[in-house]
C-alpha cells in the first residue's frame, strides 16, 4: 500500500523540496540557536535567566507536542498545519530584531523564544509523519544522511556569518541583522514545505492510546525503552549544554568570533561524517551506531570540565560533532523504523514531549547547581561534571533497545563464504526465512543451500508457517552436516533475544 502511494507522487521533487526546506530552516537555526543566549548576556541576563531561557522553551514545546496529537481532529490536513505553524515561526523572529531597543527585554526574549518553541513543536510530529510517508524505508539512511549533510553545512556557514557580524558591528545592530535574516530564511523554508505532497495518511484502527498508557506500558515496548534512553541522555546533556555560552563569553572571556569558531567545529565535523554514518546505519543498523556514538558523550562533558584553552575546546567540539552526527541520525531513523505509519504522529509527539520535559529538567538542575555555588567559575564546571556522570549512567539503558531493521552482519568467509548474513529481530510475526545471493561454486537452487540465511519481516508471509518450519528444518540439517550447527544456533539465540 505504501509503495503504491509513493508511486502516485513525484518522489524526486518531494525529496528535493524536503532538502531545500531543511537547508533554509538550517540557515534560520544557525543564525539564531547559538546566539539567543549571547543576546541575553549582552542585555544583562544572569545565570538564572539563562537557565530559564534554556529550559522553559523545552517545557512549552513538550506540551505543544501533546497538542499536536489532537490537532488533526480539528484540522485534518496536516500539511496545512505545518505551513501555518512554520509561517508563524518565521514571524516570531522579526520582533527579536528590535527587542534590544525595548524595555523589559529579558522577559520578552524568553516569551518569544517560548512561542517559537511552541510553534516548532506543534508541527514537528506532523512533519515527521509526512516525510515518513514520502521516503521509502530502504532510502531513509542515504536520504537523511545527505539531507542532514547539507543542513549541517548551511548551519555552519550561518553560524560563522552570524559570529562575524557580531564581531564587526558594535552594540545590538548585529543581533538585529541576524534575527531579521533568520525570519527571511524561515519564510523561504515555509515555501518549500508548501511544495511537498501530502499522501493519504494510514488510518489508525482501534482505540488510540493516550500519553498515560504510553508512560505506564512503554517500558515493555521497543519504542518505550528507546524513549527512556534518549530522555535520560538529553536530561544529562542539558545539565551543562545551555551554559556553554555564558561559560565561554563570561567566565573564559572569549570574543564572539572565537566563541563561534569553537561551536562551529562540531557543525563542520558533523558535515564531514554524516555520509559515513548514513552508510553505516544502512548496513549495521541504528542500535550499533547509538551504542558506539553515545559512549563519547560523557567524555565530551568531562573534557569541558577540565579544559579551558580555546584550541582544546575546538577539539572537544569537533569530537562532539562526529559523535552527535551518528547519534542524531541513528535516533531519527530509529523512530521511523520502530513505529508503524498509523502511529507515527502520536508516537513522535509523545517522544518529543517526554524528551522536551527531560531537557527542561536537565537545564533546571544545571541552573540550580550554578545558582547555589557562589563562584560562577566553579559552578559551571561542576555542572559539566554532573552531566558527564549522568550521561554515563544513561548508557546502561541501551541494553534494552533492539535493532528494528534488516542489518548486514559479516560472519567470515569460512562459514558464509563471500556473502553477508542479513538479520532482523523478531519484531512481529510471521517472519519469512529465505536465502540471499548465490554463493560461490553453488550451482543448485538457492533454497537448498544451508548456509545463507535471511530473516525478513513481512506482513503477512506468502508461504505460511508450514513453509517456514520445513525450510528451517532443512536449513538446520544442512548446517549440521557442515559441522556449523553451534554457530547458527548461537545466531538464532541472539535473534530471539533481540540483542542484535
Same domain, residue pair 92 and 183: yes
Question: CA-CA distance, 434 to 413, in Å (whole number)?
Answer: 20
Tally of structural domains, the chain:
2
pLDDT in tens, 254-290: 888 899 899 889 888 988 888 888 888 877 778 888 9
Same domain, residue pair 85 and 193: yes
- Cα distances (angstroms) measured from residue 397 to each of 204, 236, 295, 401, 464: 30, 13, 12, 8, 36
Q: Does pLDDT of 253 surpass 80?
A: yes
pLDDT in tens, 201-247: 655 444 455 666 666 666 667 788 888 999 999 999 999 988 888 88
In a domain, 285, yes or no: yes
Are 166 and 38 in contact by the 8 Å Cβ rule? The answer is yes
Are 380 and 257 in contact by the 8 Å Cβ rule? The answer is no
- Cα distances (angstroms) measured from residue 396 to each of 181, 232, 365, 392, 401: 43, 10, 21, 8, 10
CATH number of 60's domain: 1.20.1250.20
Same domain, residue pair 372 and 449: no
- Nearest 10 degrees: Cα torsion 16, 23, 125, 347: 90
Domain range for residue 128? 2-200+212-400
Question: CA-CA distance, 360 to 364, in Å (whole number)?
Answer: 6
Question: CA-CA distance, 185 to 187, in Å (whole number)?
Answer: 5
State the pTM of this model. 0.68
Same domain, residue pair 343 and 391: yes
The mean predicted confidence, pLDDT, of the chain is 75
DSSP 456: E
Same domain, residue pair 394 and 447: no
In a domain, 413, yes or no: no
Look at residue 438 in the predicted model and tell me its pLDDT: 38
Look at residue 210 in the predicted model and tell me its pLDDT: 64
Are 230 and 282 in contact by the 8 Å Cβ rule? The answer is no
**Residue 480 pLDDT grade (very low, low, confident, very high; cuts 50, 70, 90):** very low
Closest to 415 measured CA to CA, from 359, 458, 479: 479
- Cα distances (angstroms) measured from residue 43 to each of 32, 37, 102, 266, 453: 16, 10, 11, 27, 64
Amino acid at each position: 500500500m505504501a509503495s503504491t502511494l509513493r508511486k502516485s507522487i513525484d518522489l524526486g521533487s518531494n525529496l528535493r523540496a524536503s532538502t531545500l526546506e531543511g537547508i533554509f530552516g538550517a540557515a534560520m537555526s544557525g543564525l539564531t540557536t547559538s546566539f539567543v543566549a549571547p543576546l541575553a548576556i549582552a542585555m544583562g541576563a544572569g545565570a538564572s535567566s539563562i537557565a530559564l531561557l534554556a529550559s522553559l522553551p523545552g517545557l512549552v514545546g513538550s506540551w505543544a507536542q501533546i497538542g499536536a496529537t489532537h490537532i488533526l481532529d480539528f484540522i485534518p490536513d496536516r500539511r496545512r498545519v505545518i505551513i501555518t505553524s512554520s509561517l508563524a515561526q518565521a514571524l516570531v523572529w522579526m520582533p527579536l530584531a528590535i527587542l534590544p531597543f525595548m524595555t523589559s527585554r529579558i522577559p520578552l526574549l524568553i516569551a518569544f523564544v517560548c512561542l517559537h518553541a511552541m510553534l516548532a513543536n506543534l508541527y514537528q510530529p506532523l512533519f515527521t509523519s509526512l516525510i515518513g510517508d514520502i521516503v521509502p524505508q530502504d532510502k531513509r539512511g542515504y536520504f537523511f544522511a545527505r539531507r542532514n549533510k547539507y543542513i549541517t553545512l548551511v548551519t555552519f556557514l550561518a553560524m560563522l556569518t552570524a559570529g562575524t557580524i557580531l564581531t564587526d558591528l558594535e552594540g545590538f545592530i548585529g543581533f538585529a541583522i541576524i534575527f531579521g535574516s533568520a525570519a527571511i530564511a524561515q519564510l523561504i523554508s515555509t515555501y518549500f514545505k508548501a511544495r511537498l505532497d501530502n499522501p493519504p495518511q494510514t488510518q489508525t484502527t482501534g482505540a488510540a492510546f493516550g500519553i498515560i498508557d504510553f508512560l505506564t506500558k512503554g517500558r515493555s515496548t521497543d519504542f518505550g525503552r528507546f524513549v527512556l534512553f534518549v530522555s535520560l541522555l538529553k536530561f544529562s546533556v542539558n545539565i551543562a549544554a545551555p551554559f556553554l555560552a555564558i561559560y565561554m563569553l563570561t567566565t573564559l572571556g572569549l570574543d564572539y568570533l572565537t566563541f563561534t569558531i569553537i561551536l562551529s567545529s562540531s557543525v563542520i565535523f558533523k558535515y564531514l561524517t554524516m555520509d559515513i554514518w548514513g552508510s553505516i546505519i544502512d548496513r549495521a543498523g541504528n542500535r550499533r551506531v547509538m551504542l558506539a556514538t553515545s559512549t563519547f558523550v560523557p567524555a565530551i562533558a568531562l573534557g569541558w570540565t577540565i579544559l579551558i584553552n580555546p584550541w582544546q575546546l575546538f577539539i572537544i567540539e569537533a569530537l562532539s560533532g562526529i559523535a552527535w552526527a551518528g547519534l542524531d541520525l541513528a535516533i531519527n531513523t530509529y523512530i521511523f523504523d520502530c513505529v508503524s505509519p498509523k502511529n507515527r504522529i502520536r508516537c513522535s509527539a509523545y517522544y518529543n514531549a517526554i524528551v522536551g520535559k527531560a531537557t527542561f529538567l536537565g537545564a533546571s538542575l544545571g541552573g540550580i547547581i550554578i545558582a547555589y555555588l557562589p563562584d560562577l567559575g566553579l559552578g559551571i564546571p561542576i555542572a559539566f561534571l554532573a552531566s558527564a556522570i549522568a550521561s554515563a549512567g544513561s548508557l546502561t539503558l541501551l541494553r534494552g533497545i533492539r535493532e528494528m531493521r534488516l542489518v548486514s552482519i559479516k560472519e567470515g568467509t569460512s562459514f558464509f563464504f563471500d556473502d553477508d548474513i542479513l538479520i532482523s529481530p523478531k519484531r512481529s510475526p510471521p517472519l519469512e526465512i529465505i536465502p540471499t545471493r548465490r554463493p560461490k561454486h553453488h550451482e543448485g537452487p538457492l533454497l537448498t543451500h544451508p548456509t545463507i540465511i535471511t530473516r525478513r519481516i513481512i506482513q503477512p508471509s506468502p508461504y505460511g508457517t508450514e513453509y517456514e518450519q520445513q525450510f528451517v528444518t532443512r536449513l538446520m540439517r544442512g548446517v549440521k552436516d557442515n559441522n556449523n550447527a553451534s554457530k547458527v544456533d548461537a545466531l538464532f539465540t541472539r535473534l530471539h533475544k533481540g540483542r542484535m
